[in-house]
């Protein structure tokens, strides 16, 4: 494995690939992201964002290459699982279980669980703890899923398209609550979206994924500065992303 991969590395991937039957969902992915960053993973639908995040969360195993998260194999054991908070796409919850039931469940399953944080968040959001999770609105369900992930006090929070199903106002509110909860804890964040505007709001590191391959990866300020030097004029992040997406081949 990558010799520079340590606990100070958020994610280190080398030649990482995942194949489903005949289709490669992700291939030749080599990445090294330092810890403590808020990483935006952007790319069109079907580019392999969910595959990369599932690999990082240990939900699936790679077909080729290796991946380490916070210096350990994803899903390698209870300690590693406890260090990573994961909010899956469409924010799944148990339909028949109440909000309070979900908090109890997470309390049972996570040794680092902070019940006060969780209850305070649910109260601030105005969600009735007795409500069944199946009857929550999309925004409330996303907030419940985020609460479950945040209150286990992870070192890394992974969010897969957390705002895709939310309206613009709820989107902004949700993203702000992500930064609000991780601020001051040194928690790293990786979140994916197919909209650059979502990521621009809170991210300081960018990874662009197109057709199962990495097109662009780096510190957002550094990427913008380099592009400004190259073109001689100020550039916007979405122009940079669109330019990298429309490049042909694996030029980078």
Partner 1 sequence: MIRFTWLQFRAQAAVVAGVLALLAVAAAGPLHRDDGSLRLWLGVLVLVAPGLIGMFWGAPLVAREFEDGTFRLAWTQSVTRIRWMAVKLAVTGLASMAAAGLLSLIVTWWSGPLDRAAMNQFATFDQRGIAPIGYAAFSFTLGVLAGALIRRTLPAMFVTLAVFVAARVTEFSWLRPRLLHPVLLRLALNPRSTGYGQQGTLSVLFGSPTLMPNPPDLPNTWITSLTIVNARGDGLTTGELNSACPGIGQGGGGGGGLSHTRAPQAVVNRMQDCVARIGTTYHEAVTYQPAGHYWPLQWYELAIFLGAALALAGACLWRIRRA
Instruction: List interacting residues with partner 1 (CB under 8 A).
Output: 54, 57-59, 61, 75, 77-79, 81-82, 84-86, 88-90, 92-97, 101, 104-106, 108-112, 145, 148, 152
Residues 1, 14 contacting (CB under 8 angstroms): yes
Minimum gap (Å) between residue 109 Cβ and partner 1: 4
95 vs 124 by CB, closer to partner 1: 95
Minimum gap (Å) between residue 75 Cβ and partner 1: 7
Distance, CA of 89 to CA of 168 (rounded, Å): 17
Minimum gap (Å) between residue 32 Cβ and partner 1: 23
Residues 149, 185 contacting (CB under 8 angstroms): no
Minimum gap (Å) between residue 66 Cβ and partner 1: 18
109 vs 221 by CB, closer to partner 1: 109
Minimum gap (Å) between residue 52 Cβ and partner 1: 14
């Amino acid at each position: 494995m990558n010799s520079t991969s340590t606990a100070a590395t958020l994610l280190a991937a080398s030649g990482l690939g995942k194949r489903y039957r005949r289709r490669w969902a992700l291939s030749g992915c080599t990445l090294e992201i330092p810890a403590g960053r808020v990483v935006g993973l952007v790319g069109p639908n079907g580019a392999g964002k969910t595959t990369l995040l599932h690999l990082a969360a240990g939900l699936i195993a790679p077909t080729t290459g290796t991946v380490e998260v916070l210096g350990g194999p994803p899903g390698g054991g209870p300690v590693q699982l406890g260090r990573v908070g994961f909010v899956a796409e469409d924010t799944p919850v148990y339909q028949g279980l109440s909000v309070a039931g979900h908090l109890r469940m997470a309390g049972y399953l996570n040794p680092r669980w902070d019940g006060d944080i969780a209850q305070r968040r649910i109260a601030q959001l105005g969600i009735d703890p007795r409500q069944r999770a199946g009857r929550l609105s999309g925004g409330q369900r996303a907030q419940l899923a985020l609460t479950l992930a945040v209150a286990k006090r992870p070192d890394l929070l992974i969010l897969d398209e957390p705002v895709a199903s939310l309206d613009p106002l709820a989107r902004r509110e949700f993203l702000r609550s992500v930064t609000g909860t991780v601020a001051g804890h040194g928690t790293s964040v990786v979140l994916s979206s197919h909209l650059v505007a979502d990521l621009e709001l809170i991210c300081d590191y960018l990874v662009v994924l197109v057709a199962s391959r990495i097109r662009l990866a780096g510190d957002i300020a550094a990427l913008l500065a380099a592009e400004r030097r190259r073109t001689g004029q100020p550039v916007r992040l979405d122009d940079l992303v669109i330019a990298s997406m429309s490049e042909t081949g694996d030029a980078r």
